[in-house]
Amino acid sequence: MSCSLVEDIQKAYRRLVEVVDKIPVSKRQNKEMEAAGGRVSVADLIAYQIGWGTCLIRWYETGLRGESPEMPGEGFSKWDYVAIAKDFYQKYLYDASSQQMAVFEKVVFRILDIVRKEELNGHLDQEGVWSWCTLPSGKKWPLSKWVRVNTASPYKRAASLIKDRYV
């Protein structure tokens, strides 16, 4: 699964970047798409990816230290997805689209490094290795599932939203 996880992330990331690249920079901050919580822009969708990727990296790094990360974090103590998304739209919006895309790339590459490392350690697909990978219900997820729901899956959704609106 992990090799395919790396490939899935890379493929979804490349597709999203290709779709964004087709949008003129001057239109990337126009709020022309419907999403949970209201209208969003291309820049908002990329900010959302950066936000959740940053959370994932922080959770992982906190877990490496043997600590329990604040979940979801970013100043939130409960999973209010609309409020978190709006926070990401502000926090990860940059003056230049190229700067935002460079930050996004850096986040994706760090996550890919984590996936590769944990596959080598044999911890990527094992349940119960990471205490923070436990849902509020008590169900334990492997790290690979947390990675997928915070990378490949939302990248595909963002690419589809943008493509449906612009391309």
User: Using alpha carbons only, what angle is made at residue 46 by residues 162 and 137, rounded to the nearest 5 degrees?
Assistant: 100
What pLDDT shows up at residue 57? 97
What pLDDT shows up at residue 2? 44
Per residue in 8-45, pLDDT (tens digit) is 999 999 999 999 999 999 999 999 998 877 899 999 99
pTM across the whole model: 0.94
Token pair for 73: 């974090």
The two beta strands, 33-35 and 38-40, are antiparallel
User: If 0-12 CB within 10 Å is exposed, 13-18 middle and 19+ buried, where does residue 137 land?
Assistant: exposed
Average pLDDT for consecutive 10-residue bins of the chain (167 residues)? 80 98 95 88 97 97 92 86 94 95 98 97 92 87 96 96 87
- Contact yes or no for 74/87 (Cβ under 8 A): yes
